[in-house]
């Protein structure tokens, strides 16, 4: 592209120089020309044999011989003679120097040099040919001379000689001579370009290129080529240097008159430049060697395409230097921008230093107004729910079925799981494998850690948080429950299992989710197929669980029961066809899920996000953290602060529910790809916030908790989401009335289950906690209390 542009410019440049010379003829000159023309025509007509010439030819000749009538006549006569001889040899028909509308024959360099013996020369010789300067050495000649600057001796000498030569053809004004020379001299390289242009236009036949060339050829034929229509045989003293043109380079003189004046936009080449280009160009042109045309086209063959240098442009060196400086400038400006605002040169320099020392990643923030973006966005309403229940109640299988039914998992993957599960003799676990991705989980058939997965119905985008049921993994379940808007409690309806579950994690989980603020609970009475869809069994479970949940603080209208079978898929997405289940006419599980109300989150509050996981996101994201935003909003390029480490990081990019996004708000599950922090400062359970409004880290707090078991000054584990730290209850401040919160007894020695008590908890290390937040206290593998930080 750039070649193309430069080429056009150069043609124009040539025009301009000549325009200046020829297209400001004063009336005097015009008159002189008319007189001379008449004289020439007369002499031609009078001569033996009479020669006819068009007025234009005469004009041209006169112009060349500086209105010397005699010379012009001679020239025209000679020209006619030559034309007559040429007619006998049509194979050397004159060809326009410009590519007239695409030539018929395809241009080929090999064809072009078919008869040139030098093509067979050894390759090392060719290299020499290339080295030979074809053009004036570029980039040596600076720009126009400064005002008053003295030209060098050489320049002065050359200029003087040229002046002398010019004075020989006295009739034209002194000023035009130098420019004329320069244009003449430049015409030599021009011929190269013309040929190249021809080759390129035909070879590549690129639309724009050839088009522009054609336009040039038709409307503005180069005057410089017109100038050189003088025959080769002619050897007048003035033109000895210029007459190196090949015969076919002649143009019809008429074309000269078609030129239009174009204002000269370029500075004139310096005196020195003109002289030197003239001198440098001459050797190749003055003594045309057989190598010369080869040189020209070797350039073409090798794709090299140097241009005669136009000194109005910056030198190549200048271009390179400029490019370097601008690219540096760009970097600087980017750095400055990232630092937020324009800074002085010194600041920029300092920042450059920073950049070079620490390999910091800078991300440009889009400075979105996240909240208004959020309001504008047309996302489906989203809901997170946690799946809880006793171990082996079928939580993972139920959710695997749900995902499979909703098309979140393709059949092929499912079949693969089924095959692999059967291979290790756990065929019934195939659906659970959708969520149990860990190798240990699969080998043991037990969910160990929470798994999140998404699926969408027409109305809502759901995020499943599948929690482990085993008592050892209750900490993980707490992490999952902290991300949930509502809960699905899965109950094993088979004989014996329900009863053991009620004593076990069914109870603990239900209490935990309630104490973590979950209001709505859907009870999926699973494995109904194992009890033949016994209505009595369902009612029994419903009654017991309902009583228990109401006691735990759930409201009756927020509890719903669905009898289902996860492994068969009955009443999950579709109604069961089992005749024994005809008594159930209520909603299926998925319908029940859809009744959930939209949940509001603290969007306006300062950013808080508990890190759920720290991992390597991939090659592009060497460090990623995931979690759910508890409060506030976040966007790409934000600075974040992680506590308790107190280190800052930059959000490179972020994903919301697995989709890349520019921003995220509270309630969304996000993955943040971060930079400028060492992973050693990040642990799951840490809190991400803004440097402007950091969360406080504390090592002691007072909390109002509901005791699940006896509380006394004891060692406990403090849980909040993923955060899990050891601590101890140092003091029981007072037992409180459940509803009013009034103090019942100060400093009790011990409190029993079900009592609300204010406690002071001390921890060994400072952790990021702030009121109001829900905490869970565990000891010896069971939950002893849960409540609110004060």
Partner 1 sequence: MRCIKNKIEHNGSGSVTLCPVEPEDMWHAYNLIRPGDILRASAIRRVTTVQDTGSTSSARVHLNLVIRVKNLDFDPQSSQLHVSGQIINETPHTKIGQFHTLDLELNRNFTLEKEAGADGEGAGWDSIAIESLKDAVDEGGKRRAEAVAVVMQEGLAHICFIGQFQTIMKQKVEMSVPRKRQGGGDHDKGMNKFYKTTLETLLRQMEFNTSLTSGASNEPVRPVLLASPGFVASGFQKYIQAEASTTAPGLKRLLPSLAVVHSASGYTNSLSEVLQSPAVKTLLADTKYARETKLMDDFMEQLRKETNKATYGPREVESAVEQGAVGRGGGVLIVSNRLFRSQDIAERKRWVGLVDRVRDVEGGEVRILSSDHESGRRLEGLGGIAALLTFPVLEEDFDSDAE
Question: Is 224 or 452 the residue whose CB approaches partner 1 more closely?
Answer: 452
Tell me the sheet residues that pair with 661. Answer: 654
φ, ψ at 134 (rounded to 5°): -90, -30
Minimum CB–partner distance for residue 435 and partner 1 (Å): 9
Residues near partner 1 (CB under 8 A) are: 437-441, 444, 448-453, 470, 472-473, 475, 612-616, 679-680, 682-684, 710, 712-717, 724, 726, 728-730, 746-747, 749-750, 752, 778-782
Minimum CB–partner distance for residue 448 and partner 1 (Å): 6
Minimum CB–partner distance for residue 363 and partner 1 (Å): 23
Minimum CB–partner distance for residue 615 and partner 1 (Å): 4
Minimum CB–partner distance for residue 401 and partner 1 (Å): 17
Minimum CB–partner distance for residue 473 and partner 1 (Å): 6
**Would you list the DSSP string of 475-504?**
HHHHHHHTT-SEEEEEEE-STTHHHHHHHT
CA atoms within 13 A on the CB side of 472: 4
Whole-angstrom distance, CA of residue 543 vs CA of residue 549: 10
Minimum CB–partner distance for residue 352 and partner 1 (Å): 33
Minimum CB–partner distance for residue 745 and partner 1 (Å): 9
Question: Is 704 or 710 the residue whose CB approaches partner 1 more closely?
Answer: 710
Minimum CB–partner distance for residue 468 and partner 1 (Å): 9
Q: What is the end-to-end Cα distance of the chain in Å, rounded? A: 70
**Around Cβ 763, how many Cβ atoms within 10 Å?**
18
Question: Is 66 or 615 the residue whose CB approaches partner 1 more closely?
Answer: 615
CB 189 within 8 A of CB 249: no
Minimum CB–partner distance for residue 762 and partner 1 (Å): 10
Question: Is 126 or 471 the residue whose CB approaches partner 1 more closely?
Answer: 471
Q: Which of 590, 595, 498 is nearest to 539 (CA)?
A: 498
Minimum CB–partner distance for residue 487 and partner 1 (Å): 21
CA angle 701, 702, 707 (to 5 degrees): 120
Question: Is 661 or 783 the residue whose CB approaches partner 1 more closely?
Answer: 783
Whole-angstrom distance, CA of residue 417 vs CA of residue 396: 14
Minimum CB–partner distance for residue 618 and partner 1 (Å): 11
Residues 6+ apart with CB under 8 A from 379: 461
Question: Is 555 or 782 the residue whose CB approaches partner 1 more closely?
Answer: 782
Question: Is 485 or 717 the residue whose CB approaches partner 1 more closely?
Answer: 717
* Tokens, residue 538: 């369902």
Whole-angstrom distance, CA of residue 383 vs CA of residue 487: 10
Question: Is 128 or 440 the residue whose CB approaches partner 1 more closely?
Answer: 440
Minimum CB–partner distance for residue 451 and partner 1 (Å): 7
Question: Is 479 or 736 the residue whose CB approaches partner 1 more closely?
Answer: 479
**Around Cβ 259, how many Cβ atoms within 10 Å?**
18
In the DSSP assignment, the letter for residue 339 is: T
Q: Which of 183, 179, 150 is nearest to 166 (CA)?
A: 179
Question: Is 185 or 463 the residue whose CB approaches partner 1 more closely?
Answer: 463
Minimum CB–partner distance for residue 710 and partner 1 (Å): 5
Whole-angstrom distance, CA of residue 199 vs CA of residue 92: 19
Query: Torsion angle of alpha carbons 333, 339, 343, 346, nearest 10°?
Result: -90
Residues 6+ apart with CB under 8 A from 381: 459, 460, 461, 598
**Around Cβ 224, how many Cβ atoms within 10 Å?**
25
Whole-angstrom distance, CA of residue 614 vs CA of residue 616: 7
Q: Which of 411, 448, 451 is nearest to 430 (CA)?
A: 411
- Three-state secondary-structure class, residue 49: coil
Whole-angstrom distance, CA of residue 354 vs CA of residue 272: 47
CB 727 within 8 A of CB 718: yes
In the DSSP assignment, the letter for residue 309 is: P
Question: Is 185 or 452 the residue whose CB approaches partner 1 more closely?
Answer: 452
Question: Is 281 or 761 the residue whose CB approaches partner 1 more closely?
Answer: 761
φ, ψ at 453 (rounded to 5°): -155, 155
Tell me the sheet residues that pair with 774. Answer: 788
In the DSSP assignment, the letter for residue 690 is: B
* Tokens, residue 335: 């750095």
Whole-angstrom distance, CA of residue 724 vs CA of residue 718: 6
């Amino acid at each position: 592209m750039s070649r193309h542009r430069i080429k056009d410019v150069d043609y124009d440049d040539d025009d301009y120089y000549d325009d200046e010379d020829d297209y400001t003829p004063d009336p005097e000159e015009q008159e002189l020309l008319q007189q001379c023309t008449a004289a020439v025509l007369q002499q031609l007509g009078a001569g033996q044999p009479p020669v006819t010439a068009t007025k234009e030819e005469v004009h041209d000749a006169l112009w060349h011989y500086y209105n010397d009538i005699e010379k012009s006549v001679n020239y025209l006569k000679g020209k006619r003679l030559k034309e007559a001889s040429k007619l006998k040899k049509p194979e050397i028909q004159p060809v326009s120097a410009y590519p007239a509308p695409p030539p018929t024959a395809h241009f080929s360099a090999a064809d072009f040099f078919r008869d040139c013996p030098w093509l067979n020369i050894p390759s090392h010789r060719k290299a020499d040919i290339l080295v030979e300067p074809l053009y004036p050495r570029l980039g040596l000649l600076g720009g126009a001379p400064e005002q008053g600057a003295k030209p060098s001796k050489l320049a002065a000498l050359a200029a003087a000689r040229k002046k002398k030569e010019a004075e020989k053809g006295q009739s034209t004004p002194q000023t035009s001579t130098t420019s004329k020379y320069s244009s003449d001299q430049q015409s030599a390289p021009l011929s190269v370009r013309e040929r190249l242009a021809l080759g390129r236009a035909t070879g590549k036949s690129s639309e724009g290129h050839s088009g522009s060339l054609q336009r040039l050829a038709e409307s503005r034929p180069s005057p410089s080529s017109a100038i050189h229509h003088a025959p080769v045989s002619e050897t007048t003293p003035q033109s000895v240097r210029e007459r190196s043109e090949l015969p076919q380079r002649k143009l019809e003189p008429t074309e000269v008159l078609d030129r239009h004046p174009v204002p000269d936009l370029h500075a004139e080449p310096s005196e020195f430049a003109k002289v030197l280009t003239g001198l440098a160009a001459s050797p190749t042109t003055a003594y045309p060697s057989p190598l010369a045309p080869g040189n020209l086209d070797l350039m073409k063959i090798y794709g090299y395409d140097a241009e005669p240098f136009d000194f109005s442009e910056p030198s190549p060196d200048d271009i390179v230097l400029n490019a370097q400086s601008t690219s540096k400038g760009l970097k600087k400006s980017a750095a400055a921008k990232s630092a937020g605002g324009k800074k002085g040169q010194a600041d920029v320099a300092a920042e450059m230093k920073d950049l070079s020392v620490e390999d910091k990643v800078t991300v440009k923030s889009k400075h979105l107004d996240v909240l208004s973006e959020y309001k504008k966005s047309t996302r489906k309403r989203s809901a997170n729910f946690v799946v809880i229940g006793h171990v082996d109640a079928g939580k993972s299988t139920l959710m695997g079925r749900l995902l499979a039914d909703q098309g979140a998992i393709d059949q092929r993957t499912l079949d693969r799981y089924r095959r692999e599960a059967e291979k290790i003799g756990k065929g019934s676990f195939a659906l659970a494998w959708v969520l149990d991705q860990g190798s240990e989980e699969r080998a043991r058939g037990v969910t160990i850690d929470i798994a999140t997965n998404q699926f969408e119905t027409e109305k809502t985008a759901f995020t499943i948080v599948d929690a482990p049921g085993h008592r050892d993994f209750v900490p993980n379940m707490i992490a999952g429950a902290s991300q949930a808007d509502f809960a699905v409690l899965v109950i094993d309806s088979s004989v014996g299992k329900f009863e053991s579950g009620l004593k076990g994690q069914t109870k603990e989980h239900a209490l935990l989710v309630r104490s973590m603020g979950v209001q709505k609970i859907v009870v999926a009475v699973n494995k109904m197929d194992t009890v033949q869809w016994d209505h009595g069994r369902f009612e029994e479970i419903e009654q017991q669980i309902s009583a228990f949940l109401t006691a735990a603080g759930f409201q009756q209208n927020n509890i719903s029961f669905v009898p289902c079978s996860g492994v068969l898929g009955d009443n999950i997405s579709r109604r069961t066809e089992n005749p024994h289940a005809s008594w159930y006419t209520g909603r299926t599980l998925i319908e029940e899920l859809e009744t959930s109300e939209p949940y509001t989150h603290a969007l306006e509050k300062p950013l808080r996000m508990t890190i759920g996981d720290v991992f390597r996101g991939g090659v592009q994201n060497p460090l990623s953290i995931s979690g759910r935003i508890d409060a506030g909003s976040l966007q790409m390029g934000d600075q974040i602060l992680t506590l308790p480490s107190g280190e800052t990081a930059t959000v490179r990019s972020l994903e919301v529910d697995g989709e890349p996004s520019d921003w995220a708000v509270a309630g969304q599950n996000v993955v943040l790809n971060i930079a400028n922090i060492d992973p050693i400062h990040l642990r799951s359970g840490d809190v991400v916030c803004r440097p402007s409004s950091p969360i406080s880290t504390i090592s002691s707090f007072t909390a109002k908790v509901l005791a699940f078991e006896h509380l006394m000054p004891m060692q406990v584990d403090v849980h909040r989401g993923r955060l899990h730290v050891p601590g101890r209850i140092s003091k029981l401040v007072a037992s409180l009335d459940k509803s009013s919160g009034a103090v019942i007894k100060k400093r009790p020695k011990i409190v029993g289950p079900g009592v609300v008590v204010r406690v002071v908890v001390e921890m060994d290390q400072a952790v990021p906690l702030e009121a109001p937040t829900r905490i869970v206290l565990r000891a010896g593998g069971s939950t002893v209390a849960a409540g609110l930080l004060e």
